[in-house]
Structure 1
Amino acid sequence: MIPSNGTPSKLRTLRPWLITAAAFAAVALLIMWLSAAPDPAPQARGGRPGPGMGGGPGGAMITVSVAPVVQGDLPVHYHALGTVTASNTVNVRPRVNGQLVKVLFQEGQEVKAGDLLAVVDPRPYQAALAQAEGTLLQNRAQLTNAQTDLQRYKGLYAEDSIAKQTLDTQEALVRQYEGTLRTNQGQVDDAKLNLEFTQIRAPIAGRLGLRQVDVGNLVTSGDTTPLVVITQVKPITVVFSLPQQQLGTVAQQLTGSQPIPVEALDRSQNRTLATGTLMTLDNQIDTTTGTVKLKAKFVNDDQRLFPNQFVNVRLLAETLQSVLTIPANAVQRGNDGTYVFVAGEGDKAQRRLVTLGTAEGERVVVSEGLKAGERVVVEGTDRLRDGSQLRIAGSPDKAPVAANGDKPEGAARSHAGKGDGKAQ
């Protein structure tokens, strides 16, 4: 007996819609499952997988770049920050007091030792010289007269005409005048020297700086402000510091007969400003920094180095003979030490532990683990494993990209196959 509320009639009415919705849900789940499933079509057709499709042994090839292990000489350089210093620096000051009446130099001028730079008013010193010379002449005449009297007294004493005391007194007077004459001569020499100092001359050869005192000013020998500063820039020196760990190598090279080359580089270290040689090193290590100072000498004929200029210094410490070197970016580090990947026979990756030595720039010395001529992987090492199949970048036996930028035919077929699979 059917209930009066009509429920079976409603179920018969909704049944077709429920069946249709369940069918649509099943189809949607099937499409999602097919889209998420991996496409085995390329390998089923024997196609070559791309570089991003695997990385383990027996998997897809991995494209890498390699570099050979090179055997040869490796120059080892030490780098430091240095300060250019003039070989000699002189603050030119007057040595006498007076008014500055002449300035005979141009700022920035190159001068030689002895060149006249300025003149102090010489008239007071000319007068002092004349006075000292007059006193000298006066005392010289007195000495001459005393010496004449002494000769006369000696004759009279021989005839027993005068007392011995009179002769002794005359001899003492002569010695007194001789001492006075020496004093007068010193005063004359001092006056001449002061008169000479009124002409201010360059004590060294070098380049003049800016003028500090103008004509007409009173100058004294005690002035703290110099007239001008002379710096000797040809040759010129560079002072720099190296860690004490590098001192032994440099000291050993410095005792040899060959000079140690030193380069002064610009701020970016891309351009060499000058090339010179190491002169000496300091006699003690700075305990606060653990470094030692060194000084290098540069000819500087082109004056590319300037006093107090900061430069980057590159010193050739030594040259390692016949060593094996590889690019530094080929070195990897793991729990068991440093290692590299070697492209072995059949272009298969071989993980090789290595012992490293001195690093110089972008290359590093390998003391154990490699042989000359072997190829090490420098790019593409992130997905490598021991035994991975390698595809060497740039090798002619690998399928290249077409010159017009299109993909190779095999790759096009592979992608077409994938599209067909999805369409199905």
Structure 2
Amino acid sequence: MRNRKTVVVLAGVLAVIVAGGLWLQLKPPGAKLAAPTAVPVRVVSVARQDVPRHVTGIGSVLSLHSVVIRPQVDGILTRLLVKEGQLVKTGDLLAAIDDRSIRASLDQARAQLAQNQAQLQVAQVNLQRYKLLSVDDGVSRQTYDQQQALVNQLKASTQGNQAAIDAAQVQLSYTQIRSPVSGRVGIRTVDEGNFLRTSDTQGLFSVTQIDPIAVEFSLPQQMLPSLQGLLATSPPASVEAYLGADTDSVTGDRLGEGHLSLIDNQIDTNTGTIRAKAEFDNPGQKLWPGQLVTIKIRTAVDKGALVVPPGVVQRGLDKHFVYRVKDDQVEIVPVQMVYQDSGQNIIQGVQAGDRLVSDGQSRLKAGARIEVLSEPPQQIQAANTGPQP
């Protein structure tokens, strides 16, 4: 009986072992641990090149000469010889005022001069005669002195007549209004036939010089030593003017390139800025008086600098760093920021040609696997937008 029970137990154990073996052989394979997913990123190559440094600011375009044309004599405006917007040169006739009254005064002064000159001629002949007679006491000394005084009086009269003629000629010249500068005629305020007075403050129109032209701008007072050095160079430092008044973006339309011409003689204590002026050739008239522009001055050139776009460099708690590609992974490399602007950064701590992550850094960490997107690595071109040394 005991042997039978033992056989039954052994048979049960054997059945369990067989069933377990079959289950192990037939069970579905378990899911393997998922491999880390590669992070898609974009990369750029570190470029080595000469990079000009610039400082930017807001400037206002100013004319070097702007004149309001006003009458210098009273009279009727008889002729307007220029049109609004016309370009004129120094000395060009702009307008004419009725000059008949002044010409009559000039003729009268000339006639008076001729009369006094005739009287002076007779008086001088008599003086010469009295001088000869006075030697033999033919005339008294008193008569001779009186004749000498008459001659002096007539000489003074002729000088006064000549002065009156000169004054009348000056007044007559004022009836011909000529341009004192070369420039562009503005909008006129009077028409032919109006009576003009010297007390009129509005004037006929203005003439404003357009070419060359100036831009006045302000920079922080800390820039004064740099500006002084730039002004002392030969030729002075170049200044570029761009459309608009946005110092964060100077890649718009370039209106012209000029040179630094002067620095103001004092610093504004209210704003802590120093004013400066640059002069521009303006043949295309892209710069216009009163226009607000962004100016860019090249202050230095970094030779053989390592350049990357701004998005490459990341900022940690106490330092800057970049993600450098090594095979299919990235490593964290600390870098030093040498110079930065809106278009590029100059860094130290990497080598020219190193591939750095430019987009997708938010999911990265040291040793993370990456997948470089299909487009080829970007090359740094931002530095080439400025003037080359």
For the aligned pair, the TM-score class normalised by the smaller chain equals: 0.7 to 0.9
Question: 1:392 maps to what in 2?
Answer: 372
- Asked if structure 2 preserves the Cα contact closer than 8 Å seen for 1:206 and 1:231, the reply is yes
For 1:248, which of 209, 225, 245 is the aligned residue?
A: 225
- SS of 1:41's partner is coil
CA contact (8 A) 1:113 1:205 kept: yes
Cα distance between partner residues in 1 of 2:41 and 2:235: 44
Q: Give a deviation string over 1:75-102, Cα, whole Å, max 9, x none.
A: 1122222211112101111111111122
How do 1:19-418 residues align onto structure 2 when only pairs under 5 Å count?
41=31, 43=33, 49=35, 59-267=36-244, 269=250, 270-344=252-326, 346-366=327-347, 368-394=348-374
Q: TM-score, normalised by structure 2?
A: 0.82
Contact 1:112 1:205 in 2 (8 A): yes
What's the CA shift for 1:395?
8.0
Query: For the Cα contact (< 8 Å) 1:354–1:370, is it kept in 2?
Result: yes
Change (3 A) 1:167 1:336: same
Which letter maps to 1:380? G
Tell me how far apart the structure 2 counterparts of residues 395 and 154 of structure 1 sit (CA, whole Å): 114
The structural deviation recorded for 1:152 is: 1.0
User: Cα deviation per residue 1:266-296 (whole Å; 9 max; x = unaligned)?
Assistant: 2274222222222222222222122222222
Opposite residue 72 of structure 2, the aligned amino acid is: R
Amino acid at match of 2:140: A
Gaps of 5+ in 1: 1-39, 50-58, 397-424
Identity among equivalent positions (%) equals: 40
**1:127/1:258 CA distance change after superposition, 3 Å:** closer
- Give the CA deviation at 1:42: 6.0
For residue 22 of structure 1, what is the aligned residue in structure 2? none
Q: Which letter does structure 1 place at the counterpart of 2:294?
A: N
Q: Aligned partners of 1:234, 1:98: CA distance in 2, in Å?
A: 33
The CA distance in 1 between the partners of 2:226 and 2:302, in whole Å, is 12
Q: What are the Cα deviations for residues 144-190 of structure 1, in whole angstroms up to 9, with x where unaligned?
A: 12211111111111112233232222222211211111111000111
Could you say what the CA RMSD is over the residues aligned between the two structures, in angstroms?
2.0
Aligned counterparts of 2:32 and 2:188: Cα–Cα separation in 1: 84
1:98 & 1:220 partners in 2: Cα distance?
7
Q: How many residues align?
A: 342
Q: CA deviation at 1:126?
A: 0.9
Structure 2 spans left out of the alignment, 5+ residues: 1-29, 377-389
Mapped contact 1:253–1:318 kept (Cα < 8 A): no
